[in-house]
Structure 1
Amino acid sequence: MSDTDGKKTLGLRGGPRSGNVKQSFSHGRTKNVVVETKRKRVVVPKPSGSKPGAGGGTQGGDPSKRPAGISDAELERRMKALSLAKAREADEAVQRAADEKARDEERQRRRDEIEAKEREEREREEALKAKVEEEQREKREAEERKAATAKKAAAPAAPEAKPADPAEAQAAAERGGLKPARKPDRERTDDKRDAKTAKGGERDNRRSGKLTLNQALAGGEGGRQRSMAAMKRKQERQRQKAMGGHAEREKVVRDVQLPEAIVVSELANRMAERSADVVKALMQNGMMVTQNQVIDADTAELIIEEFGHRVVRVSESDVEQVIEATEDRADDLKPRPPVITIMGHVDHGKTSLLDAIRKTKVVAGEAGGITQHIGAYQVTADNGATLTFLDTPGHAAFTSMRSRGAQVTDIVVLVVAADDAVMPQTIEAINHAKAAKVPMIVAINKIDRPAANPDKVRTDLLQQEIIVEKLSGDVQDVEVSALTGHGLDTLLEAIALQAEILELKANPDRAAQGAVIEAQLDVGRGPVATVLVQHGTLRQGDIFVVGEQWGKVRAMENDQGARVKEAGPSVPVEVLGLNGTPEAGDVLNVVETEAQAREIAEYRHQQSKNKRAAAGAATSLEQLMQKAKDDQTVSEMPIVVKADVQGSAEAIVQAMEKIGNDEVRVRVLHSGVGAITESDIGLAEASGAPVFGFNVRANATARNTANQKGVEIRYYSVIYDLVDDVKAAASGLLSNEIRENFIGYAEIREVFKVSGVGKVAGCLVTEGVARRSAGVRLLRDNVVIHEGTLKTLKRFKDEVAEVQSGQECGMAFENYDDVRPKDVIEIFTREEVERSL
């Protein structure tokens, strides 16, 4: 047999084998399928003594008996591959068996779940059906009782009548040629239903097969049955009818508050009427509206009167009536800690003094060593009294912040440095305290310095109408040193004495009211407001409205950063849970419902929006013309400002408004709280404005956008540097100042006519020097007749650049010939000088 015949024989043996497989389906169906399986050829190495034609051979076998071209390494590699394939097939078989087992378990679990659901559904349907049958039975019993009651009521009218058998009565009626009396429809229906039930008719209510929810709720005729509420209402009507007639329910007349405009659905809600009825009434009055449309107050008043209610006209501002303050009774008032505001000039040691009182290092965390936010702290004195301190900035840019500090304070501590005396911001602080009518205590600080002169401070205060006790006045003055701690106890005693005189009290058992000392947008916590509670107690979970924002107290932190559940009068806390950043100085009021808070905030936002629109719109032709004129003459420097807190942003905007003059002004396109975002960069790029960040930074997206669009971002931590840079940039917009320097005068002695040149003035330079390149003016009787330039300047017959005083020369004006003897020529030069704000 040849090799070819041997291969053919091997191929036939390894060919497909056929067989029958029986497949099983659901519902007992089976099917026989003919399948073919192919046997996989597996090469198994044979012993070393096998035939060469078998292709076998071991690693140590005779190479001459091994297939041609196969080395020991190749043979070993094939053997390893074969063993790995067998192992993989075994693993796959085990995995397939595990997967099949998991699938069987999953199918069994699903079957169990389906059976459980079906069992629950059947039980629920049976319970529902039993309930319906019980109600029907109760209804029949009620009807039977009603019929029995009516029968007893009719019994005295015909006492001679005897109850007769219905069959006998019917037979007698037939003998007398009369038809039997017709039964009521309900009784005939019940009789038919009972007959069919007895006969096992086609309308039998017994369950056949599965009972569905629709079948359980279906009526006796197979139609839709009335709801449970309808059946209860029907039973109530039957009960009232059995008790002697149905009494009509009396209509409730309501007082309906009606604003200038109202939505139809809201009008129906306030009248406690159905929206469909209100829409129908409007359509009958010729208004085709839907329940979501707005109608005016006059139309709504007609509808309210048509429904029989009373109209109470209110305005939009009445939404704030829910937060109107009510006077507290004297019995409800309890003592509260005093609120002390520390004021004074910059770098006079206000924060250092508070540090010494608090025994902390607040000043170390301030940029540049200055206070740029309002800090609120609580301090417990040695005698156990609690004091609330407000630390306000002293720089001129924070005037408004100091003003807010004076409005919420009880006592002002005016800090004046003993070596510096009264300064401009000290005077401003005095004016704020006087305007707020707040008592003042003067703390003369830095008395430990060699140049300290407390008496000079007291004398300077006399000019501001502040007379201290040492000069026989009524204002307490205390000499202190924040560095050494000298006089701090005396200062606290003076504060406690002043607080005792004031008899500060508040009602802690009412809705909270407070003032926002500072507000900021925290990345991790959202909008955060530092609130000084003035009345009532602010608790976690309270719903409040503050300015144009509203919120719910999610959490509160005291000045030490610890979480608290409530804050009473004169307690400063950081409040979390606002929907936006309020303005510093806004008043916080606690309301009852979230809807009230949202309504008040939306009303205030709309009012603010209307005010801004009215302020920005020109309402007359003169204003329009003036605006157009200003736009042409005034150069604007647009900027975008982002700060860390609201108070700093407000102070920066106010400082920017003071920069400029009639030619240049700084325009703040947008100011806000929080990080610099991509929208800020887009606004700055559209307006060609730089972006200034005060204690904030731009996020990654904003930085990339700024680099691509060429928008400049500058960061600052001290407000002085920001103001100085903006001033320098705005100064660059100023046009250079033109200055004239008079360099000489010349008097015209004679006038000559020269062909090709025109009139030439023979002049004598009386003062200074005459230059060819300089500007000239022609004066006649000290009145300027002409201003221009020289066409020619000659000395004798030669053209010269300049002529000295005392010499004669010839001058001719460019494009001007009206020169006369005794006229004076004024010679001057011009130079440009840069200006700054």
Structure 2
Amino acid sequence: DVIKKICGNLLAGKNFTLPGLLFIDTPGHHAFTTLRKRGGSIADIAVLIVDVNEGFKPQTYESLTILKQYKTPFVIAANKIDAISGWKKVDGIYTQRLAEQHSAARSLLEEKIYEVIGTLYDQGLKADIYTNIKDFSKNVAIVPISAKTGEGIPELLMILVGLAQRFLEESLTVERGPGKGTVLEVKEETGLGTTVDAIIYNGVVRSTDKIALGTRDKPIVTNIKALLKPKPLDEIRDPRERFDSVEEVHAACGIKIAATNLDDVVSGSPLRVVTDENLEEVLKEIKEQTELSIELDEEGIIIKADTIGSLEAITKEARERGIKVRKAEVGHVAKRDVVESSASTDPLHRAIIAFNVRILPEADEELKSTDVKVFREDVIYTLMEDYEEWIKKKKEEIERARREEFVHPGMIRFLPEYVFRVSHPAIIGVRVLAGRIKAGTKLIKEDGKVVGTIKSIQSEKKSLEEAMQGQEVAISVEGATVGRQIKGGDVLYTDIPEGDAKKLKEMDVLTLDEKDVLNKIIEIKRKTDRFWGM
């Protein structure tokens, strides 16, 4: 009756057997990763809301990915048409309202809708305004709406009713047997203790029933103390009396359940009414559904999430990005997670991805004495982007540190006007033409002969560890005599060991000028060993 009242003439003369629609409004990915039913989403159909003015956001793409993953049929609600410049509220269906708009407002909305269509096309989906669609099984319907003015809401309901009636009728059967549901959230309620918020999608749950639920370890069976439904807002006088106690509930509905031993129940786990006859079967089913279908690696990062579905979604995303995962668990970040992560031999694996969970105080304290990085977010896309950005910077940091282990390519010119000592050691002025020079590095001439070893580097009476391209410095060279091994104007090169040359080529960390110098040194070396550096 409510649907008919809202839709008005849109459903006039049409009969439908759908008993009703249960809407679950949950943020971002949660609607689908938390609500699992035999490996898929509990949602029979979904409404993906897009701000028509701003287009797709990271969480929109995330929800879209999950909808596709679970093969959940959905409709796009292009919201906030009232915010289109020049838009005026007009009664009637979309085509009538559009015709009454100023041409500029009409063009702007159509442009925004085309952008949504284009984005969906890029994601491999065909979409169009619902009025243009003939086959709803092959196209995603877009319904322009305004949650503020109510425009488009009747059409959105009409589309949902039609799709449910047409494509879901066979699967939408009403059962009177023991209730089946999914845990949405586990939370503490004043005066009630630990409770679970659940969606009952099949059967009946009574206040006298026993229920089985999934925990981190194994399924538990507990007695229901109370079935609670929120009171209408206008009836709530005291925050402690926000709920009405009911004797039984029928699918499909949302319900809060108060019971004993709920502390370790996992969000996203199955909830089943148990009897003496089905107990063994139910416990087996819950155990199977709460076991993670995640393949782990011997080495990798640690992932912690708030629900089973979230955990699987994040791990799947990590896999697709080539990220190795050694541990994936539901729950907050604990001290043991930090200790495990810090023990990783690969510094790139000393990271914990924490989705919608807290860092416990002991873990926070442990983090202060380790190099473990924790990424906390409630949007999977952002988590992955942040982690990959950290990986990029960490690799650069590691490469810079590794570079210091090798002799680097450097090319210098002996400035003839700067001879401070002829020998023991020779002290001369040089200009670094390319690359870098460091104390302790041997120097060679263009014929490949070693002329000596740089003992020290100075500039303006200050000692330097190294000198870079463009600098003019004084160097002391042990083993060289000016006028014999070296002469003014000579171009000298750093004598790079063959192993260092190979590593530097593999690492790809040199600048273009450094690469040119390295190639020149390789050319010099191959005058006496044609396979040098290969």
The normalised TM-score by structure 2 is: 0.53
Map 1:107-122 → 2, pairs under 5 A: none
Say whether the 8 Å CA contact 1:509–1:537 is kept in structure 2.
yes
Does residue 448 of the first structure (1) align with residue 82 of the second (2)? yes
Aligned equivalent of 1:459 = 118
Once superposed, what is the RMSD of the aligned Cα atoms?
6.5
SS in 2 for 1:562: strand
Does residue 767 of the first structure (1) align with residue 428 of the second (2)? no
Q: CA deviation at 1:495?
A: 1.9
Q: CA deviation at 1:790?
A: 1.7
Q: CA deviation at 1:792?
A: 5.2
The code of the aligned residue for 1:537 comes to V
Say whether the 8 Å CA contact 2:45–2:72 is kept in structure 1.
yes
2:156 to 491, 498, 506: 491
Q: CA deviation at 1:568?
A: 1.5
Larger radius of gyration between Structure 1 and Structure 2: 1
Map 1:172-191 → 2, pairs under 5 A: none
Does residue 825 of the first structure (1) align with residue 493 of the second (2)? yes
SS in 2 for 1:457: helix
1:437 to 65, 71, 75: 71
Q: CA deviation at 1:401?
A: 3.4
Task: Summarize deviations over 1:453-500 as a string: whole Å, max 9, x none.
Answer: 223223333333222234445333211112222222222222222222
Aligned equivalent of 1:557 = 228
**1:789 & 1:776 partners in 2: Cα distance?**
6
Aligned equivalent of 2:44 = 410
**2:274 & 2:469 partners in 1: Cα distance?**
89
**1:432 & 1:806 partners in 2: Cα distance?**
57
Does residue 576 of the first structure (1) align with residue 236 of the second (2)? no
Label 1:756 to 1:603 Cα distance change in 2 as closer, same or farther (>3 A): farther
Q: CA deviation at 1:445?
A: 0.7
Map 1:323-722 → 2, pairs under 5 A: 386-394=20-28, 400-401=33-34, 407-449=41-83, 450=85, 453-463=112-122, 464-468=124-128, 469-472=130-133, 474=136, 475-501=140-166, 502-503=168-169, 505-520=172-187, 522=189, 524-547=191-214, 548-560=219-231, 561-577=243-259, 579-580=261-262, 581-593=264-276, 597=279, 601=283, 646-647=306-307, 654=314, 672=331, 719=378
The code of the aligned residue for 2:223 comes to K
Q: CA deviation at 1:523?
A: 6.5
SS in 2 for 1:593: coil
Label 1:604 to 1:782 Cα distance change in 2 as closer, same or farther (>3 A): farther
SS in 2 for 1:482: coil
Label 1:428 to 1:779 Cα distance change in 2 as closer, same or farther (>3 A): farther
Label 1:494 to 1:389 Cα distance change in 2 as closer, same or farther (>3 A): same
Label 1:682 to 1:402 Cα distance change in 2 as closer, same or farther (>3 A): closer
Q: CA deviation at 1:811?
A: 5.0
Task: Summarize deviations over 1:606-656 as a string: whole Å, max 9, x none.
Answer: 9989x99x989xxxxxx9xxx6xx6xxx9x8x99x7x9xx4399569959x
Q: CA deviation at 1:672?
A: 3.4
**1:402 & 1:606 partners in 2: Cα distance?**
16
**1:693 & 1:804 partners in 2: Cα distance?**
46
The code of the aligned residue for 1:582 comes to V
Task: Summarize deviations over 1:533-584 as a string: whole Å, max 9, x none.
Answer: 2322122222232332222332212354332222222122122325344333
**2:141 & 2:471 partners in 1: Cα distance?**
77
Say whether the 8 Å CA contact 2:36–2:42 is kept in structure 1.
no
**1:512 & 1:782 partners in 2: Cα distance?**
87
Aligned equivalent of 2:455 = 791
Label 1:484 to 1:788 Cα distance change in 2 as closer, same or farther (>3 A): farther
Label 1:788 to 1:421 Cα distance change in 2 as closer, same or farther (>3 A): farther
Q: CA deviation at 1:433?
A: 2.8
**2:423 & 2:338 partners in 1: Cα distance?**
60
The code of the aligned residue for 2:276 comes to T
Label 1:488 to 1:777 Cα distance change in 2 as closer, same or farther (>3 A): farther
**1:419 & 1:600 partners in 2: Cα distance?**
48
Q: CA deviation at 1:505?
A: 3.5
**1:810 & 1:685 partners in 2: Cα distance?**
48
Say whether the 8 Å CA contact 1:744–1:827 is kept in structure 2.
no
The code of the aligned residue for 1:558 comes to K
Map 1:291-330 → 2, pairs under 5 A: none
**1:770 & 1:682 partners in 2: Cα distance?**
45
Label 1:577 to 1:482 Cα distance change in 2 as closer, same or farther (>3 A): same
Aligned equivalent of 1:260 = none
Label 1:711 to 1:529 Cα distance change in 2 as closer, same or farther (>3 A): farther
Task: Summarize deviations over 1:739-768 as a string: whole Å, max 9, x none.
Answer: 78988523799xxxx99837x698975737
SS in 2 for 1:532: strand
Map 1:224-239 → 2, pairs under 5 A: none
**2:70 & 2:470 partners in 1: Cα distance?**
70
**1:781 & 1:747 partners in 2: Cα distance?**
13
Say whether the 8 Å CA contact 2:195–2:256 is kept in structure 1.
yes
Say whether the 8 Å CA contact 1:528–1:574 is kept in structure 2.
yes
**1:787 & 1:471 partners in 2: Cα distance?**
82
SS in 2 for 1:420: coil
**1:505 & 1:418 partners in 2: Cα distance?**
32
Label 1:813 to 1:598 Cα distance change in 2 as closer, same or farther (>3 A): farther
SS in 1 for 2:307: helix
Label 1:809 to 1:429 Cα distance change in 2 as closer, same or farther (>3 A): closer
> Which protein has the bigger helix share?
1
- Percent identical among aligned pairs is 20
Label 1:745 to 1:491 Cα distance change in 2 as closer, same or farther (>3 A): same
Say whether the 8 Å CA contact 1:479–1:487 is kept in structure 2.
yes
**1:804 & 1:476 partners in 2: Cα distance?**
62
**2:311 & 2:451 partners in 1: Cα distance?**
49
Label 1:538 to 1:757 Cα distance change in 2 as closer, same or farther (>3 A): same
Q: CA deviation at 1:435?
A: 3.8
**1:409 & 1:811 partners in 2: Cα distance?**
77
Q: CA deviation at 1:526?
A: 4.1
Say whether the 8 Å CA contact 2:213–2:221 is kept in structure 1.
yes
Say whether the 8 Å CA contact 2:77–2:156 is kept in structure 1.
yes
Q: CA deviation at 1:408?
A: 0.8
- Can you give the 5+ residue segments of structure 2 that lack an aligned partner in the other structure? 7-16, 86-107, 232-242, 343-350, 497-534
Q: CA deviation at 1:824?
A: 3.0
Say whether the 8 Å CA contact 1:519–1:647 is kept in structure 2.
no
The normalised TM-score by structure 1 is: 0.36
Q: CA deviation at 1:592?
A: 1.6
Number of equivalent positions:
400
**1:587 & 1:652 partners in 2: Cα distance?**
15
